[in-house]
Amino acid sequence: MHLILFLIFAAFSLAGAVNLLLQTHPINSALSLIVVMSSLAVLYLLLGAEFLAIAQIIVYAGAVMVLFTFVVMLLNVGEEEHTHGSVVAKAIGFPAVVLIFCVVTTVILETEKRLAPIRLTDRITTVQDLSKVLFRDMLLPFELTSVLILVAILGAVALARKEGHT
């Protein structure tokens, strides 16, 4: 059961990511990214992270992607223009990408013996477990993120405001 669910949603997320690259219109890319994020939420559930699965749906697939689609529609972005792109990106970028993937995969396969297989019957992390750590050990970083969000809101308003409306 777990294997089947994993394969289905891993395939969804990979298909969404590939579609993000292939689509030329930004709104189609944004919708593919929503597919990726929603299937990742299901994978978080399979890993027993119930709070993060819901947060992924609400924060990422909900708030962040709505912001993206709003901006795509607000700016009326059209089809992507086909340009040749930078030679440096092609010459160095793609070999580097392949190299990174090969190195990471090799390391993962080397350490595979030390990792336990994941079962659906494993213990899940409840919101209580999470909040005990978050509000005791991590209280200061948690409060600091609220300041960060406030600064981000002020920065977004200041940047997006029209010139002359002071």
User: Considering only residues 24-53, where is the footprint of other proteins by CB under 8 A?
Assistant: 26, 29-30, 33, 36-37, 40, 43-44, 46-49, 51-52
Count residues near other proteins (CB under 8 A): 88
User: Considering only residues 64-83, where is the footprint of other proteins by CB under 8 A?
Assistant: 64, 67-68, 71-72, 74-75, 77, 80-83
The candidate with the shortest Cα–Cα distance to 37, out of 15, 55, 13, is 13
Decide if residue 59 touches other proteins (CB under 8 A).
Answer: yes
DSSP letter for 161, please: S
CA distance 130 to 91: 45
Q: Tell me how far, at minimum, the Cβ of 166 lies from other proteins, in Å.
A: 15
User: Considering only residues 102-121, where is the footprint of other proteins by CB under 8 A?
Assistant: 104-105, 108-109, 111-112, 115-121
Check if the beta carbon of residue 84 is closer than 8 Å to that of residue 29: no
Among 4, 140, 165, 166, binds other proteins (CB under 8 A): 4
The candidate with the shortest Cα–Cα distance to 80, out of 37, 35, 20, is 20
Q: What are phi and psi of 125, to 5 degrees?
A: -90, 115
